Amino acid sequence: MNRRLPSEREAFMFLRKSGCAKDVAVHCKAVAKLAVRMAEKCKGQNMNVDVELVKIGALLHDIGRSKTHDVDHGILGGEIARSAGLQLDIVSIIERHIGGGVTPEEARRLGWPDRSYMPHTIEEKIVAYADKLVEGSEVVPIERTIQAFERKLGSQHPAISRLKELHEEMSILLADAQ
C-alpha cells in the first residue's frame, strides 16, 4: 500500500486527538528533532534513510501513552496507528521503540501479540535510539538512560544489553556520518 505520510501538523493533531498529554507531545517533538539530525547525518553519508519517515515516526512514537504509560504503550500505540490507517512503517516504529527492543519470547511473556518488537530498519533504530537520549524534552547521555533501566529492571535484564548494543550500533553509524 502506497500511502503518504502524515504531515508534521497532522501528526501533532493526531497526538492531540488521541488524548496525549502536552508533555508527551513536547517529548515527541524533542525526540523527532534529535532523530531528524541523526537521520540527516546518515543520509549525508549516502545511507539509505527516509528522513521524513523518521520525523513522523518519532512524532508519533509515544501515541500509546494516551492510554498507558506502561511498557505496552508501544503495542497500544501500534493499535491506534493501525486503526487510523497509518502505513505499516510508522506502526512498526511505534511498536519497536521500546527499550532496545522486545523479542518474541518476551512479547509472549508480556501477553503481547507473538512477534518481534526489535527495531530492524534504520528508521526504527534511529527513533528508538533518539527516544533513549531524550528525557522529557532534554537530551541526556545514554549512561543516564542505562542507569535508569538498571534501577528499574536490574543490571542483568536482557533489555540492558540490547540497549547497549543499540547504542554501539548507532554510535558507529553516526561516527561514520561525521
- CATH number assigned to the domain comprising residue 41: 1.10.3210.10
Q: pTM of the predicted model, to two decimals?
A: 0.95
Please report whether residue 128 resides in a domain. Answer: yes
Q: State the residue range of the domain holding 36.
A: 8-176
Mean pLDDT of 141-167: 95
* Burial (0-12, 13-18, 19+ Cβ within 10 Å), 153: middle
Please report whether residue 1 resides in a domain. Answer: no
Total tally of structural domains belonging to the chain: 1
Please report whether residue 3 resides in a domain. Answer: no
Mean pLDDT of 57-83: 96
pLDDT band per the 50, 70, 90 thresholds, residue 175:
confident
Please report whether residue 19 resides in a domain. Answer: yes
Please report whether residue 43 resides in a domain. Answer: yes
How many angstroms separate the CA atoms of 102 and 73, rounded?
13
